[in-house]
Structure 1
Amino acid sequence: MASKRKLLLLSTSTVFGSEYLQYAKTEIDSFFKRNNVAKILFIPFALRNHDEYARKVKDALSVWGYEVKSIHESSSYVEEVNNAQAFFIGGGNTFLLLKTLYDHSLIEPIRKRVLHDGIPYMGSSAGTNVATISICTTNDMPIVHVPSLNALALVPFNVNPHYMDPTPGSKHMGETRETRINQYHEIPGMPPVVGLREGSILEVIGDKVKLLGDLSGRVFIEGELTKEYPADSDLSFLLNKTN
């Protein structure tokens, strides 16, 4: 049976010179309208000030015609997940986000709604990280202890949002993002990783994965040479890649 998943995974919420989510307006609007979404459940757990974060998201998406409710405003988080038309999990600290999802027993309910009920899911930065197998390839600092590094596993690969290339002429001698990801793959059996540059988006519809935006993406697979894929590439092979 074909997968029901519908995901829009953003590298970031804001790019230089643009307002919050504005750079991805076309993709976001198309994604939700194609799936008949009018109401979005926002999950603000990647930052501590939930009221302020929710207000920012509501201000941005209400202008586009969407009704946004933040899960923290409810007395029953699981009930909100079970009744949601769509999810948006925003960026911030990935460890704090994942810990809070575990604290409120939301991992399995969200996973069920997305994979079995076909509820659309949008993530940005940390929200993209938790959509993958684990948060092992986040750039964030572990400011809290998480029960597990395992995340929602809505896709069978990992993402490195905000992927950065080495700066030409730089005298920095520390590890690059590419070096760090290759070190991750020194452990046998680790899943593929997509280096998602700022402004890039992964759209996952059923068994199809497409790289959206203007920039290329970098794909790391254990035991294989790293490959660069241009914008609009079909990356569906990642859904079937096993080590």
Structure 2
Amino acid sequence: MSAFLAPTASADSGKVVTSSRSFKGQQSRYASLLKESAATSVDHDSSWGGVESLEVPQTESQAEKDAKAQAEAEAQAQQEREQAASRSTERESTSASSSTSESASSSSSSNATAVAAPTSTSGAAVVSYALQFQGVPYVYGGTTPSGWDCSGFTSYVYRQFGLEIGRTDADQRAYAVAHGVKVTNPEPGDLMWKSGHVGIYIGGGQMVHASTPSTGTIVSSASYATFEYYRIL
């Protein structure tokens, strides 16, 4: 509040009297101005929020979008390559297993499917036909190119030439005695017999026969034992 002092004279005493006047309106305006200038704080609880609370949306540039798309495409391509490689490995493993199985199942009969049929009924034709079965395994009691024993081999070979000489070595000797000729100077194609074993003479002191389980069907010297020779063709 401001005051104005004015001197006055007293008629009675001759003293000077001072009076004052107040101007409330002007003082009030000054006080209001001071109050408004002091109220400069920011109300952080305002519903519209201050600068500090603004959330600016994050946007990707086109370059960032392209890089992200390329990375995703590369990851997808890598996954497809790995899946393709896995499928290829599985196919190779299955194929190898199948080939091994087929090879094992056909190895014993490969000679049978590869042999040429007899072209005549000569002794030389018998030898040529019989030699094609080298390598067929020895199987006791067997009678086919998948595996046979000594008499199973000779019975199979001579059967292809129309001769049923019997199943066992004893049967074959009996057939040879009844239907053939015993000779001391053997020729290719003659039946060879000794107790417990038979074979086919191929000439040059050699024979082809289903020898043993460890050797299978082979060509070997005929001199390892004493044989009887029968010409049955």
TM-score range, shorter chain: under 0.3
More helix by share: 2
Higher relative contact order (CA 8 A, sep 6+): 1
Question: TM (normalized to structure 2)?
Answer: 0.23
Question: TM (normalized to structure 1)?
Answer: 0.22
